[in-house]
Amino acid sequence: MRIIMFAGKGGVGKTSISSATGLRAAEMGHRTLIMSLDIAHSLSDIFALDKGLVDQNKGMPVKIEDRLWIQELDIQEEIQRNWSDVYKYIVSLFNTTGFDEILAEELAVLPGMEEVSSLLYINRYVQEDDFDVIILDCAPTGESLRFISIPGTLEWYIRKIFKIQRRVVSYIRPVARRFYGVPLPEDDYFKALENLFERLEGIDGILTDPSITTVRLVVNPEKIVLKETQRTFLYFSLYKMCIDAIIMNRILPQTIEERYFDDWKESQRRYLKLAEEYFSPVPILPVSLLQSEPLGKENLTKLGADIYGEHDPTQHFYHDQPYEFRQMNGQFVIRIKLPFISKEAIELNRLPEEMIVRVGEFKKHILLPRHVSAYENVKAKMDGAYLDIIFGGKKDGKEES
């Protein structure tokens, strides 16, 4: 199985690039699925399919070419398939607080439901070997990062909170029914959550295995887009995701001779050079601005050829390991790739069994091996683009920082 995620700022051309890549992979003999992770699905429009505006085939894959399928999730269908008991409880909770039934049903569609549903499909496809390649057309940056952080968040919840919460509710439910008007979740609710987590088991390992999953960041040669791409690169590295290519989309062809575009072309050359400095040695794949929208098979085929030339789009264009765990001179070292920032921008918190690394609004929980969690002395330093968290030294109860 090969999984390729296309991520980046909204409007940079992720869906077009994803579709062209998927079509190219299918033409080279790979059973390929393109899955939209954006609630504003547009895969059907890109392929110019004869479908209604809101026809998503009930969220199931649609075969559009030999060895090529697309999938656009339908959250209402996914609620029935995966969230029924959880959804019913949340609706009942909102109803008791005074919301009318229709509003309660709308509010009960919680953030993360669609992302978890996508992860369930991906995990199943990998386990059942349904496809050779899965192309993920990501939502804009913030939602993409939430998507990749969900497995770790759920694991933390199940490991730290779930069993305690379930036990406490079972004890107080009989008493609460007499004195408390707000319903507490029944055991079916907890069973549903437990079942969802079991079906997600292993997905975090799949997404963070660079031999299976890599990320390709789609960029335009513009200052704001480039700045956001730096942050995206940083956050994907924090979540242990390997970035194997930067796709620089919509470059003005040098054949354009009109003087009107001279300043624009010069600006693009400057940002292209900056991108090479920022992201080296990750390769940058340049893509020229097309004369028309890349809609339909013919135009997408041309776009795929422009991006990849004779290369197989499923190959790894760059190999990287954002995380490394080392033992050196009696010390244990966690080495994390965190480019573009200084040590002052990183917040570290040590818990008995884990280390929490926070950068900006995102944080990563790193579970420590048992023999490492016994160390009390911890220090951290930046080594170029890498953060080294070092455990070791005399266990005298003092902690370095």
- Residue 328 above 50 pLDDT? yes
- Specify the range with the lowest mean pLDDT, choosing from 87-101, 202-216, 335-349, 357-371: 87-101
- What residues does CATH 2.60.40.790 cover in the chain? 323-391
- Residue 94 above 70 pLDDT? no
- The percentage of residues in the chain with a pLDDT greater than 90, rounded to a whole number, is 47
Q: Which two tokens stand for residue 152?
A: 């770790």
In whole angstroms, give the CA distance from residue 315 to residue 321. Answer: 16
In whole angstroms, give the CA distance from residue 398 to residue 166. Answer: 37
Side-chain-side CA neighbours of residue 39 (13 Å): 12
Q: Report the pLDDT value the prediction gives residue 176, as an integer from 0 to 100.
A: 64
Q: Which CATH number applies to 323-391?
A: 2.60.40.790
Q: Report the pLDDT value the prediction gives residue 399, as an integer from 0 to 100.
A: 40
- Residue 244 above 50 pLDDT? yes
Q: Report the pLDDT value the prediction gives residue 141, as an integer from 0 to 100.
A: 80
Instruction: Tell me the pLDDT tens digit for each residue of 151-161.
Output: 887 787 777 77
191 or 23: whose pLDDT is higher? Answer: 23
Q: What is the pTM of this model?
A: 0.86
Q: Given the structure tokens 């930067």, which residue do they identify? A: 246
280 or 146: whose pLDDT is higher? Answer: 280
Q: Which two tokens stand for residue 253?
A: 């062809």
Q: Report the pLDDT value the prediction gives residue 267, as an integer from 0 to 100.
A: 94
- Residue 286 above 90 pLDDT? yes
What is the pLDDT averaged over residues 286-301? Answer: 90
Look up the CATH architecture of domain 1-320.
3-Layer(aba) Sandwich (3.40)
Q: Rounded to a whole number, what is the distance in angstroms from the first to the last CA of the chain?
A: 41
- Specify the range with the lowest mean pLDDT, choosing from 96-105, 184-193, 382-391: 96-105
How many angstroms separate the Cα of 219 from the Cα of each of 230, 280, 291?
A: 10, 15, 18
CB neighbourhood size of 61 (10 A):
18
Confidence of residue 148 (pLDDT cuts 50, 70, 90): confident
What is the pLDDT averaged over residues 279-288? Answer: 96
Mean of the per-residue pLDDT values of the chain: 85
273 or 354: whose pLDDT is higher? Answer: 273
- What residues does CATH 3.40.50.300 cover in the chain? 1-320
- Residue 77 above 90 pLDDT? no
Confidence of residue 397 (pLDDT cuts 50, 70, 90): very low
Q: Report the pLDDT value the prediction gives residue 290, as an integer from 0 to 100.
A: 85
In whole angstroms, give the CA distance from residue 225 to residue 8. Answer: 8
376 or 3: whose pLDDT is higher? Answer: 3
259 or 228: whose pLDDT is higher? Answer: 228
Confidence of residue 140 (pLDDT cuts 50, 70, 90): confident
Q: Report the pLDDT value the prediction gives residue 111, as an integer from 0 to 100.
A: 57
